[in-house]
Homo-oligomer: A and B are copies of this chain.
Amino acid sequence: MANPLIVDIHTHVYPPAYIDMLRARHKVPYIHDPSDGGPPRLIILSSDDDPNIPLDQRGRPVDSSYSDIKVKLDFMDKHGIDCSVISLANPWLDFIGEEQASEWAQKINNDLESTCAQVNSATATPDKLPRLFAFGTLPLGAPQQVAVADEVHRISALPHIRGVIMGTTGRGNGLDDPELEAVWGALQDTQLMLFLHPHYGLPDEAFGGPEIVRRYGHVLPLALGFPLETTIAIARMYLSGVFDRFPKLRILLAHSGGTLPFLAGRIESCIAHERTFKVNGGSVQGPQRGIWDVLKTNIYLDAVAYGTAGLKAAVEAGGGTTDRLLFGKMMSHCPPPMTFFNADNFEGTDHPFFPPLNEEDDKWTSVTTNYKAISAAFEGDEAVAAVLGGNAVRILNLK
């Protein structure tokens, strides 16, 4: 296959202004500059903010690969990625309440927009895709939901914003919260894509308690918690009728939908047999549209499924076509362990966590590996090319 277009829709940044804001904080989430002059460290979880751990070692380093767009571009060059749709990494702005929320959202979104504009202007090449687009961030902690909807409308006019990224808790009470109706309405009206991303949303008790979780490092919350969190979030959204009231919402689910492609049929069955719902004589409305209809109409998945079993289920869930799958990054084909833990690694390619290691000179190695994985799961060069980039260009109107 001759050089298909490659678009990475799952790649995060921490703009400098965001890092400075976290640096000024002293409770989670906050950034601390270690005394040895190493990269600033982000303490993102309460469990990371452990007084038994020296402050210089808490959390995880956030180096220039997050905050310096040049490093992102170098990484894209090295790995043959034509275009990236960047998004703020967690915890986004979820921890900012009151009026400040909107101010920060505007600041971050304007930053993202101007970064894209500057990079694209400096790198413009005839007949090539612009290099950067962005998913914006929302002031979910604002006192009124209309403020969130207002920011959706505002950024829909920015030339490089193609959607918004959101965690699974929404305004704090999950995605079936009536406090999000205005936001769904704004997203439907503007047709901005909602990129739904997990963020340590399952309690330790789901895994047997904190001691069990600690025993296996980050494996249980990351390998199982992240996808389950996404699945629960979208299921609550579906059960509460959001897709009935906003039938044109567009949602991109991280990690190939968590486990939704595998469990959609089970959700369908349980609803059909649930006497709480009106259709079975109960008092609760229940969802009107079928889950497979929603999957084929409203849901898009990234191709971050770590293996052909998951990728094939994702294709089946989309109605048997690859039209709704977008290339993210594929962790299972990463080189061996990185030197420190970072949640982003688990989406895959972010420099410096996806280097060619002993193959420094072969800039195409990792991408070639991804080709192989995607080729194994999907039949035909056209399907592969669509997943790698064509679908993203079409679905997100990247031009």
Residues of A bordering B, CB below 8 Å: 173-174, 176, 202-203, 205-208, 212, 215-220, 222-224, 227-228, 231-232, 235-236, 239-240, 255, 259, 261-277, 279-280, 282, 284, 305-310, 312-314, 316-317, 331-332, 334, 336-338, 340-341, 345-346
Contact = CB atoms under 8 A, between A and B. Distances in A.
B270 A223 contact: yes
Given A219-B267, A332-B268, A346 B307 contact: no
User: Which of A270, A271, A340 has the most C-beta atoms of chain B within 10 angstroms of its own C-beta?
Assistant: A270
Contact of A273 (B174, B272, B284, B341): B341
A284 B332 contact: no
A216 B314 CA distance: 25
A236 B223 contact: no
Contact of A218 (B173, B203, B220, B270): B270
A235 B218 CA distance: 13
Contacts of A269: 223, 306, 331-332, 334, 346
B207 A236 contact: yes
Given A205-B203, A220-B236, A337-B280, A346 B270 contact: yes
Nearest to A281: B337
A317 B311 CA distance: 12
A215 B263 CA distance: 20
5 contacts: A176-B212, A212-B236, A216-B276, A273-B338, A309-B314
Given A218-B274, A220-B236, 11 more contacts: A174-B208, A216-B236, A217-B284, A219-B239, A261-B313, A265-B309, A266-B346, A269-B332, A273-B331, A274-B337, A312-B312
Contacts of A219: 235, 239, 267, 270-271, 274, 276
A273 B337 contact: yes
A160 B336 CA distance: 48
A387 to B, nearest CB: 17
B262 A309 contact: yes
Copies of this protein, total: 2
Contact of A224 (B232, B341, B345): B232
A274 B340 CA distance: 8
A228 B223 CA distance: 12
A312 B316 contact: yes
Contact of A306 (B206, B235, B259, B268): B268
Contacts of A255: 266
A209 to B, nearest CB: 9
A93 B239 CA distance: 34
B265 A306 contact: yes
Contacts of A264: 306-307, 309
Contacts of A309: 261-262, 264-265, 312-314, 316-317
Contacts of A217: 274-277, 282, 284
A205 B205 contact: yes
A212 to B, nearest CB: 7
A316 B306 contact: no
B266 A223 contact: yes
